[in-house]
Structure 1
Amino acid sequence: MLRIGITGGIGTGKSFVSKIFKSMGIPFYDADKEAKNIMSKSDIVRRGLINAFGAKSYNRDGALNRKWLADKVFKDPEKLQILNSIVHPVVIQNSKDWADKQRGAYSLKEAALLYESGSYKSLDYTILIAAPLDLRIKRVMKRDEISEEEVLDRMSKQMSEEEKEKYADFIIINDEIVPLLSQVLDIHHIFLKK
């Protein structure tokens, strides 16, 4: 079974494209969602976060203190790198274990930080979802109800689209002009043949 990664910058529509693949019955792993579960449930990650950031990483009831942790790491690139070094290896292993159990022609792993985390190295192919900058900004402003400046700040912390294109085996253009479904189906048929 082929292992395929799908990624894209904020506002490109990677989750929407992933839903199209899911609707065709392709086994699907949402790395960002699983990372949140792992941060809440994994003893290894819990110990790592408490050692790195202190007991306030978790609330008294044992739940991850998301807001506090986010405020602590997202303004400091070094702390964000520490957080990622604790969480990413566990998520990558979890996704490999999940993929081992799947059946069919291929499975799909969606991850915002597919290239940045290095998890693309354990995949057979990757798909990058791309969209024009102005459209991405509008989508995120509407979705998250934030200003253009806040969107641009978030984007500045991500790997550039140009850099991601160097790693991608396939690129799907999600610009609301080029038909999306035909691009997805073309790639789907390529994977079925392989």
Structure 2
Amino acid sequence: MVESQGCVHREGVYRWFSSLTSAQRAEFLCGLLDLCVPIELRFLGSCLEDLARKDYHSLRDAEIKANNPTDLSGLTNITDEVVRSKLLVSLALLGSDNREAAGVLYRTLTHIDTVINNYGLALNDGRTEEQFLLLFTMASNHPAFSFHQKQVLRQQLSQIQDILQVRKCTNNSFTVRKLVCGRNYQCI
């Protein structure tokens, strides 16, 4: 039991986990699952299957679209918030063995550097930032993507995180400069 070890308390972990963003939760859970042994994974799979069954009927049509490469090929304008939302739903409902649909999603997602550089997509908008982080976290951990595709998506996730870090650092640095009598301080 987690509580009996004295180091970590379950309620504290629950509070900490609930404060994470969706992208951070997905990344953390994927990391935990990687630590599980096969019998634990099978048990957890059964639990997840039972939980997912509750929403099966309401998500059925979306799941069919998410696994249809033709439907996915129309979701290319990643600068559109509606398209990003549909891509998130598609990634969540994409079958673990659907390589063809994953290939379509991969081609869409690998144009992110062009989108950011050519269209100046504002990643500092909280909702846009969260959508991109979640998109690339989900894609880089999704079993339908090949190892190579996951590596490329992981690199792009890193690039997005770096851009966001620089922007946050720049904004914090600007705020510090304003507050401290015009002195320049480097963001560390």
Whether TM exceeds 0.5 here: the answer is: no
TM-score after normalising by structure 2: 0.27
Larger radius of gyration: 2
Give the structure with the larger helix fraction: 2
